[in-house]
A and B are shown apart, each in its own frame.
Chain A
């Protein structure tokens, strides 16, 4: 197991190296005037000259790359043109809000998706199967930003049940503020015994989380269904039946355990989806996270910020894949004990 871990980590490190090359190309090589992109629209010629020298853009390419990597590893990801603050700080500052949203969405998508998939396989060919399949394919086809708008119309405009935008009622900031511990409002409010805030945050997170969860739920349900059907068709399930084991044991333990590896892979894919999907959900709900920041950065051509986010997203994706691989090893003894 340790050997497996070591190999995977080394692999990830290599991938990160390669990714840094790509982001380097995107940041310094592909744009026609990288220095100008770095500074922004109001760049003056001497600024450009200074930055050109500072970024080493007048040096040979390999040297530039090394400078780039050195900067990145040292925490210098450039300065945001829009906010004038270091990009890395901006990213890390907004990260908790986005993470909270993504985690909330996955906490919905994974259990619901797997449950639907198992149900669908269990009752293959009957009504539950048809319903789940329709729900899944609808989930996978819905544009997130459109669903967000629809939910807003329904729950805010029509039913007046949930707030339109934002993460928390701004007034609460003053009346019952949440003491920041983790940066996750839901967790912090509970830790501080602040139930009013907790409920308020919950009301605010419901719609964005559900919107973000739609696609993953559909995808996970589909994969669970197909993996379960595949598992249920295997010889060892026939053996289990031949030995008179209970249906419930067979479905929820013997088959499901074998169906999980491809489902885990899909969960990894949906996490990757969530990384970018959150942009669209956040912008509609005005959620103060990375997504809103990214969209504004893209629109205002805040190039350092965009590049920083791209790099960050890529690193996040590599991490997700690593976790998925580790999960696979844990699930399948044949990999673990190879």
Chain B
């Protein structure tokens, strides 16, 4: 009688991971920053040292103060505390970028999933439309749309969402097309589950990881794009606290009051950097082929 077969498991020999060091320190830092940003966005003006100045109330007799005690990042031409304005502006940045990406996903993902799952004519039509939308440089399209609709934060958001959804359609179509051959989808079809339910109940939930990675990076990109639009006057308008707008407002006095445009720009940079780092980290985590 042969003894029962036991698959010997490799036993760790001497080498252990240093438990206290996170696998991805930059990604961890990025996550912290993102959490902080979301918190600030939720708290809004309350988190600012000078809430009223943050939301736009002028304080002219303290105008153009350099960074120092009392005003850590200085004050702008109207005497408003720069730090407070940046904190208040977080809500715009996070809000717009989440809304835009959310909208782009809401439109793009189902479209792509339907195209990838159904194939045939629907696929052709949807993908032709997507290709056409992608044939435009995104920001240019957004600018043209804002020009047509008129300036303002909401119009900028709509314009950006319209420019962004095609990327998600393409992404989700590719995933849907490959998932559709999998056994669990075939099984669902075989027992008569409706197409719609398959798409929304099986295909989309299983396509999430590349979408999440893309979304994270895109949030950063949209913050940058919205900031750029605001910089040239196509986004939020004064006296709103918008990072891009603040940089633009400070541009005229940059040589002497450098802090006025520099810090809001720094805020954009740090936010985008954080989302990029986290997105990268997620990508490495989800796709083992992309070795670090």
Residues of chain A having any CB pair with chain B under 8 Å: 15, 18-19, 22-23, 26, 30-31, 125, 137-138, 140-146, 149-150, 152-153, 156-157, 226, 229-230, 272-273, 275-276, 279-280, 283-284, 294-295, 298-299, 301, 303, 306-307, 309-310, 313-314, 317-318, 321
Contact = CB atoms under 8 A, between A and B. Distances in A.
Contact of A298 (B132, B135, B234, B272): B234
9 contacts: A19-B132, A137-B276, A142-B269, A145-B231, A146-B247, A152-B255, A157-B258, A283-B232, A321-B135
The prevalent SS among residues of B at the interface is helix
Given A145-B231, A146-B247, A283-B232, A226 B290 contact: yes
Contact of B265 (A31, A140, A149, A275): A149
Interface stretch (B37-45, B115-123, B142-150, B201-209): B142-150
A298 B276 CA distance: 30
B227 A143 contact: yes
A280 B247 contact: no
B269 A299 contact: no
B144 A146 contact: no
Q: What 8 A-B pairs come out closest when comparing CB atoms?
A: A146-B265, A276-B139, A141-B273, A141-B272, A310-B144, A18-B132, A313-B140, A306-B147
B231 A280 contact: yes
A276 B149 CA distance: 19
A22 B269 CA distance: 33
Contacts of A294: 143
Q: Which of B138, B139, B234, B292 has the most CB of A within 10 A?
A: B139
Contact of B143 (A125, A142, A157, A298): A298
A171 to B, nearest CB: 21
Contacts of B110: none
Given A18-B135, A30-B149, 18 more contacts: A18-B132, A23-B144, A26-B144, A26-B148, A137-B277, A138-B273, A141-B276, A143-B231, A143-B244, A146-B261, A149-B265, A153-B258, A275-B137, A283-B232, A298-B233, A299-B232, A310-B140, A321-B135
Given A141-B220, A295-B232, A30 B135 contact: no
Interface in B230-249: 231-234, 244, 247
A168 B136 CA distance: 32
B232 A280 contact: yes
B232 A146 contact: no
B100 interface: no
Given A149-B265, A152-B254, A143 B224 contact: yes
Interface of B: 131-132, 135-141, 143-149, 220, 224, 227-228, 231-234, 244, 247, 251, 254-255, 258, 261-262, 265-266, 268-269, 272-273, 276-277, 280, 289-292
A33 to B, nearest CB: 11
The prevalent SS among residues of A at the interface is helix
B137 A146 contact: no
Contacts of B291: 229
Given A137-B276, A140-B276, A19 B269 contact: no
A313 B232 contact: no
Contact of A314 (B136, B149, B292): B136
Contacts of B137: 272-273, 275-276, 313-314, 317
A266 to B, nearest CB: 14
B17 to A, nearest CB: 16
A137 B273 contact: yes
Q: Which of B138, B147, B262 has the most CB of A within 10 A?
A: B147
A141 B269 contact: yes
A64 B251 CA distance: 43
A225 B275 CA distance: 20
Contacts of A26: 144-145, 148
A22 B290 contact: no
A57 B185 CA distance: 51
B23 to A, nearest CB: 14
Contacts of A306: 143-144, 147
Contacts of A273: 137
Contacts of A156: 255
B151 to A, nearest CB: 9
Given A142-B269, A153-B255, A301 B147 contact: yes
A279 B146 CA distance: 15
Nearest to A280: B228
A149 B132 contact: no
Given A18-B132, A299-B232, A149 B273 contact: no
A156 B256 CA distance: 12
Nearest to A134: B26
B228 A144 contact: yes
B124 to A, nearest CB: 13
